[in-house]
Amino acid sequence: MTGRSGDGFLRCSDGHVRWGVFGAAGVLFVLRADGLAPLVMLQKRSPWAHEGGTWSCAGGAIDEGESPYQAALREAAEEVGTIPVEHRLLGEYVFAPADDWRYTTVVLEVDEMFGASVNFETDAVAWVPIDEVERRPLHAGFAAAWPHLRSIIIGGARR
């Protein structure tokens, strides 16, 4: 069981203010179809969210006592719906710009498409070929992480 909510802003050791008192985490879902480029689930952020109107992965604040993996799955379920039971961890990318804050993106492979706008934070959900991700207006943090996340996807190809 987790402790108190991590929702809230933190002035980090580098002077920037970031969301997530205990850090934040998100999950990038990957689907591979035979003979096609891998698809990733992108979430269009609602106007109410930070950098609304941009595309990113589902995610948010880590609650006290949660691991980044647990937080990423919880946040994704809250924002895009029930996650398929069958999923495989391909890797993680950690952005740690300060001593006291980090954002962990968990990369999970699934066997089926899923997802919808299930709360006010999500305007839309789309499965996008990896070569088309950069054609969308991306959330700045996700855009910076994308080259690392793409490498995890390419490196995690089924053999």
Helix segments in 6-158, DSSP class H: 68-80, 140-155
The residue segments making up the domain with residue 102 are 9-155
Does residue 1 sit within a domain?
no
> What is d(CA 139, CA 34) in angstroms, rounded to the nearest whole number?
29
Residue 158's pLDDT band (boundaries 50, 70, 90)? low
Residue 33's pLDDT band (boundaries 50, 70, 90)? confident
Does residue 60 sit within a domain?
yes
Is residue 105 within a helix (H) or strand (E), and if so which, with residue range? strand 101-110
121 DSSP assignment: T
- Quote the pLDDT of residue 47: 86
Q: What is the domain count for the chain?
A: 1
Question: What's the mean per-residue pLDDT of the chain?
Answer: 93
Contact 57/152 with Cβ under 8 angstroms? no
Structure tokens at 117: 């706008």
Per-residue pLDDT at 159 exceeds 50: no
**Between residues 3 and 77, the one the model is more confident about:** 77
Does residue 131 sit within a domain?
yes
> What is d(CA 134, CA 130) in angstroms, rounded to the nearest whole number?
8
* CATH number, domain with residue 67: 3.90.79.10
77 CB neighbour count, 10 Å cutoff? 14
- Quote the pLDDT of residue 38: 96
> What is d(CA 58, CA 121) in angstroms, rounded to the nearest whole number?
9
- In this prediction the pTM is 0.93
Which residues lie closer than 8 Å to 4 by C-beta, 6 or more apart? 63, 64
> How many residues in the chain?
159
Residue 118's pLDDT band (boundaries 50, 70, 90)? confident
Q: What is the CA radius of gyration of the chain?
A: 15
Write the pLDDT tens digit of every residue in 121-150: 889 999 999 999 999 999 999 999 999 999
